[in-house]
Amino acid sequence: MATQTKTRTTAQTKRRSTAAKKASAGRTTTQRKVSATKASATRKRASARRKAQTTRAAASRRNSTASGTATRAASAASTRVSAEATRLEAFALQAERAVLIPVGAALIARDSVVENVKPFTKLSSVEGELKRFERRGTTARNQVEREAKRTRTRVERLLRRNRRTFQSAGRDFERGAEKLVAQAL
Per-residue pLDDT of the chain (185 residues; tens, 9 = 90+): 444 444 444 444 455 566 666 655 678 887 888 888 888 778 877 877 787 777 766 666 555 566 666 677 777 777 777 777 788 888 888 888 888 888 889 889 998 888 888 777 788 888 888 899 999 999 999 999 999 999 999 999 999 999 999 999 999 999 999 998 888 87
Residue type, 110: R
**For the chain, how many helices (H) and strands (E)?**
4, 0
d(CA 124, CA 114): 18
Residue type, 120: F
Domains held by the chain: number? 2
Domain membership of residue 181 (yes or no) is yes
Residues 6+ apart with CB under 8 A from 3: none
Domain membership of residue 20 (yes or no) is no
| Residue 90 lies in domain | 29-121
Q: Are residues 41 and 72 part of one domain?
A: yes
Domain membership of residue 13 (yes or no) is no
d(CA 28, CA 37): 14
Q: Are 80 and 48 in contact (CB under 8 A)?
A: yes
